[in-house]
Chain A
Amino acid sequence: MLRQILLHIFYQLNNERTINAAYHLLRGKRSGQTIQDVGIFKLYPYFGILRKLARPVFEDGVNSLGVEGWIRTDDNGYFTLTESGLEQVRKLALPFFDGWHYQGNEHIFYGRLSLIVQSLSNQAAGIRSFIPVQRNEEIQGWCRQFLLASDFRSGMLQQALFHEMKTSMEQSGLSTLQKELLVERLTGVGVTGIPWQQLSFEHEMTELDCQLLFISALHKWLDTIHQHNEQFPYLLKLAENIRIDNVLTGSAYQTAQMYNQGYSLEQISAMRRLKASTIEDHLVELAMNEPTFDSTPFISHEQHEAVQQAVRTYATRKLRVLHDALPHLSYFQIRLALAKGEV
């Protein structure tokens, strides 16, 4: 599946970035460039879905696209999709991902869930101490609080959690395979969690595909939990601070606050002792993430429309090309227009 995901990313990147851009995207690199690429090329689903992706695994994936004849790479790390590559893109049927809003946090949610299920399982069996499946002390502390606050000894929590999990998983539109994966990585008394290698054999797919389907399942499930929040109070609690709705980086967030308080770009730059170009990066990030962001102080409606028109005419999002076409606009203005997209 990694191969299909890479093909889709390369298609979206429109031959305008090197293959490295895909690597940073999948690992969720928090750099201005990668974050802007997400917005410009609409790569929200894949941001940070494989935070530990190893370079050799990534390269194997890219190479296999070349072997299939779907892409051609050149020496500078740029690539072109071939005819058969484009044909493949039309046939793609990829599972749902929402990397942008979870960025790996889905694993914290699952870590909490697995430790709580393990605790309840041991409690039901009358076992008081066991080796916790989660080593992370923050997760351990969180779960301790949750269990104490939920009166876990009464047996009611088991009932409620079972009901919530079963109902919400059924409502999520997950495939049977995905539901299986979600419970197979849980561990308890007499039911040990199943290692990826065995899951790969049982389900007849690679370990990485199992992991990707698992991540997809988590994204879908978390969305359902958020959408029907009043129905699943315990799961909603478990999903506390997992979904990232305000995706701005720390520094960009400060700029955004000052901007919303009415300070100008120059004032912010002076007050924060940051270069104007840095503040511009922040504003572009803000434009990308906040639908209500008003860009008119920097770029007029007509100018914005001109950029969109140029994108269509030249079939590119390359800044240099657009700047050549619209020399009266600054790079900053063009980036703002790209970030905001169609209005």
Chain B
Amino acid sequence: MLEQRLQEIFGYSEFRPGQKEIIEHLLEGRDCIALLPTGMGKSMCYQLPGYMFDKPVLIVSPLLSLMQDQVDQLRQRGEKRVVALNSFLSPNKKTYALHFLHEYRFIFTSPEMLTQPQVRQRLQSMELSLIVADEAHCISQWGFDFRPDYLRIGEILGEGRPPVLALTATATDSVLADIKKYLSMKEPYQFIHNVNRENIKLAKYMFDKKEEKHEWILEHVKNTAGPGIVYMSSRKRCDEFSQLLIENHIRAASYHAGKDAEDRQFIQQQFIQNDVEWIVATNAFGMGVHKDDIRQVIHESMPANVSNYMQEIGRAGRDGKDALAILLYADGDEHYARYIAIEDLPKTMHVDAYAAYRQMQQNPTVMLHDEGMSETAFRVLDYWMQQEPQEAVKQRLLNMEENKHTAVREMANIIHMSTCMRAKLVEYFGQTLIKTQEVCCTECGLEMDKIIGPRRKVTKQALMTWDGRLQKLLFGHI
């Protein structure tokens, strides 16, 4: 009985939607695609099978922070046979891990590591029980976060391979088609979660000037209940706006990839404990944050595509209670969104520069410094330049740019059209809204104070003395 094993190993009495069906098919040896929103137990789909197979499970995860989060979770549960093969591993540790690789239950790795010959050979030479492609939309050039190295996963999928499980939170039809193709999946079982989240109410507000938005958010945050996230498009804006909130006696924190590792952990912890009420963040915040009672998600400006938007608002209301997603828009926001969307794409001039370096027999990686390219952009360029001639790469990049622009237009449509926002979002993912709901979105009519309560003032706790704090840290009391 699967339920019994779930209880024994994880202490849960029942599966969440989709988990059982997926696990059953995997145990039968069938490939699966699981389209489950973040926080809905994607990882259980391979963790439980990991305890039922007698060979290691390989999990390929393109996002280092997410990988680390899953490794932490497993270790926290007391699982010792888990290893993360990533670029942070010292050479000694890597040699050790590779030598004993068959002894682990869960092997996490990044697509980049799969390109290393010693890693690839080792994986090809051993038996695996299951291969998991996490964030599988990254394998598709139609996906919003394409990672070309991910395509190399095909190279370790030889004859007689174990079943493959593709996990993703968001995928359109074209992305799903790519996932099947590149993972050479044979008639996979598909579980597609209903993308509509009824308890998340959708609001949008239009402004004439960008500056008015900050005033609006400040007033809103002063008067309504958190906990919440304000998404902003740059680190600098996060720092400045969170500072403004703090100066207005709102317990807020700025969060982005520029913060040191300790700060990131402290802020997440404070947010979970409700010591901090609002996080002002770039899209770096969210993955691996396990907080069920987020009541509001505010987008200060439009996201670059619908998938990002859905993923970000999906962090609200995981406890099933009412939550509010607010999207702010001012004239001209598309321009900025378009800029952000293609920021990480290589440009035509980069193709020429790459070709020139190659002609001079120099390593093109110097472009990372000299041409000020981002690492993501370079990886995309590097991959295609090894696959195709120069002109074809240029055309491909132009197509990719056009796709990104299309994605921005799709997002803008949801803002500008005066029909139900929920219906449009659900349609985007190829589903249809089965029933209408009473409290739905701004277009269907929305009263904010029926969804979100007034802000509860918290009396500021007196600061501890330094030795008092030390005592509490070490002994748990003063």
Contacts and interface: CB of A to CB of B under 8 A. Distances in A.
A168 to B, nearest CB: 12
Given A133-B262, A162-B475, A192 B246 contact: no
Interface in A142-187: 158, 161-162, 165-166, 169, 176, 179-180, 182-187
B72 interface: yes
Interface in B238-261: 239, 242-243, 246-247, 253-254, 259-261
Contacts of B473: 117, 120-121, 183, 186-188, 191
A266 B273 CA distance: 67
A190 interface: yes
A253 B428 CA distance: 65
Interface string B440-478: 000000000000000000000001101101111111100
A179 B262 CA distance: 19
Nearest to A128: B78
Contacts of A129: 75-78
B127 interface: no
Interface string A116-130: 010011001100011
Interface stretch (A28-36, A197-205, A294-302, A325-333): A197-205
B68 interface: yes
Interface stretch (B109-117, B264-272, B390-398): B264-272
B396 to A, nearest CB: 34
Contacts of B242: 197
B77 A193 contact: no
Nearest to B73: A131
Nearest to A180: B466
Contact of A201 (B76, B246, B267, B269): B246
A166 B470 contact: yes
* Size class of the contact patch on chain A: 35 or more
A176 B262 contact: no
Majority secondary structure, B binding face? helix
A342 to B, nearest CB: 41
Given A129-B77, A198-B253, A165 B470 contact: yes
A193 B475 CA distance: 16
B466 A182 contact: yes
Nearest to A117: B473
B476 A189 contact: yes
Given A129-B78, A183-B466, A197 B254 contact: yes
B471 to A, nearest CB: 7
A188 B246 CA distance: 24
A195 B259 contact: yes
B263 A196 contact: yes
A186 to B, nearest CB: 6
Given A124-B474, A162-B470, A195 B75 contact: no
B90 interface: yes
* Size class of the contact patch on chain B: 35 or more
Interface in A11-37: none
A183 B275 contact: no
Contacts of A182: 466
Contact of A187 (B93, B243, B266, B467): B266
A257 B477 CA distance: 53
B97 to A, nearest CB: 11
Interface string B71-110: 0100111100000000010100100000000000000000
B78 A121 contact: no
Contacts of A117: 473-474
Nearest to B255: A195
A197 B466 contact: no
A193 B470 CA distance: 11
Nearest to B78: A129
B466 A179 contact: yes
Given A135-B68, A137-B90, A195 B474 contact: no
A194 interface: yes
Contacts of B93: 137
Contacts of A124: 474-476
Nearest to A157: B474
Contacts of B466: 169, 176, 179-180, 182-184
Given A162-B474, A191-B472, A198-B253, 10 more contacts: A120-B474, A131-B72, A131-B265, A137-B93, A166-B467, A166-B470, A183-B467, A184-B466, A187-B269, A192-B266
For the complex of A and B, list the 7 residue pairs with the smallest distance between their C-beta atoms, beginning with the closest: A188-B473, A179-B466, A193-B266, A195-B263, A129-B76, A192-B269, A180-B466
Interface of A: 114, 117, 120-121, 124-125, 129-131, 133, 135, 137-138, 158, 161-162, 165-166, 169, 176, 179-180, 182-198, 201-202
16 contacts: A121-B474, A121-B476, A124-B474, A129-B78, A130-B76, A131-B72, A138-B90, A162-B475, A187-B262, A187-B265, A190-B476, A191-B464, A193-B266, A197-B254, A201-B246, A202-B463
